[in-house]
A and B are shown apart, each in its own frame.
Chain A
């Protein structure tokens, strides 16, 4: 075997050391990549984000958003360019999901391709304060659209029963609607909804589908100018009315209710039970009237509609019993309350 010269020996040693060092660096870099580089995920909004008109696609989107937001190291991009219509209820749920996402992340949500958004959508989301709420890093500039028929009001969110938040909502709405007669009924419904959230919505249970569990409520308003329809929406990401009702009423009580009205037990019938039993219960007489307040808004304000979505149940009431109930294809992941009041009808009735 040929002997290596001293020069070759030194070269060989240095080369071996360098090669080993590079190997170690590459290995460490891969480990660093595995630790720090986020997984990119993109979600695309459906064209029509509306629980009323497109429940399955809308709720599927929110379910996917919740799952993505709950995973660590996910860098999430949401494509808004496909969105053409957004209902008030879906808009509020969108804000709540993005707000929760933001609360659990250090970085702001980046808004991209704003120039490709439907201009009406961009305006509505701007009006509702979605960009402020979620601390968007590069807030875009908006050009108002003259005579745009739909207006959104800024979101509010909190943990406590805060009547002043409802007052601020009224002030914002009345800039568009003029004085809202019988506002005290809506105030009552909103503050009772806040109280229900505070007391019942977030027990110390981690929901499998809601890895980010914040004990907040969200509310906002919308006004459709042509038909003078005022919409107020309230949402929480809690366990839902069907889950909490068995804590308030005995099994026998509930069974008796279902039997009396010929109902099978479902999330929808649980909501109906909550609306009825809250007025007539024995036992803790002093509690359980909050849902009656929520329903009373529609009874007291003409041309009103109430819709409650909780778990997989939907309850709809237009001022006269019986209410309409329906089982939804999937859980909404909380409780959503929507009041819709036609102000033109109310003002006409006041003139009579």
Chain B
């Protein structure tokens, strides 16, 4: 399984939904890191260590797997793991996937 530390491998200060919003957007994370690694197998995303995550970033990054990339929700549940000390954050991310 590939592990992505969001704060180290992408940015400790992610913000924004689309690339046009800023340099470390949810779209950039999904397209540049998440999707290429999911294509190779299971991925664990470690959320700890960042300053915080806005809903726009999270929804575009994770909900976008279903809504934009066309992945099935069941497939996302199979190949993606989300790790964080903040259980509410993990639940929020899965809510975005499941409601996409």
Which residues from chain A sit less than 8 Å from chain B, CB to CB?
Answer: 160-164, 166-167, 170, 183-188, 191-192, 194-195, 198-199, 285-287, 289-290, 292-293
CB of B50 to closest CB in A, whole Å? 8
- Additional A-B contact list (11), CB under 8 Å, known A166-B51, A188-B53, A290-B54: A160-B21, A161-B25, A163-B13, A163-B52, A194-B15, A194-B21, A195-B17, A195-B21, A286-B60, A286-B64, A287-B56
CB distance from B32 to the nearest CB of A (A): 16
* Residue from the list B11, B54, B63 in contact with A286, Cβ < 8 A: B63
Q: Which residues of B contact A187 (CB under 8 A)?
A: 51-52
Whether the pair B17, A199 counts as a contact (CB closer than 8 A) is: yes
Please, which residue of chain A has its CB at the minimum distance from the CB of B57? A191
Contact sample, A vs B, 14 pairs, CB 8 Å cutoff: A160-B16, A160-B22, A161-B21, A163-B15, A164-B13, A167-B13, A188-B53, A194-B15, A194-B22, A195-B21, A195-B56, A287-B59, A292-B55, A293-B54
User: With an 8 A cutoff between CB atoms, is B20 at the interface?
Assistant: yes
Report whether A162 and B54 are in contact in the complex, using a CB–CB cutoff of 8 Å.
no
B60: A residues at CB distance < 8 A:
286
Instruction: Tell me the complex Cα distance, A186–B20, Å.
Output: 23
Give B contacts to A, CB under 8 Å.
11-18, 20-25, 50-57, 59-60, 63-64, 67, 96, 99-100
B56 touches A192 (CB 8 A): yes
CA–CA, A160 to B14, complex, Å? 12
Contact B55 A192 (CB under 8 A): yes
**Is B15 touching A162 in the complex (CB atoms < 8 A)?**
yes
- The answer to whether A286 and B59 have CB atoms under 8 Å apart is yes
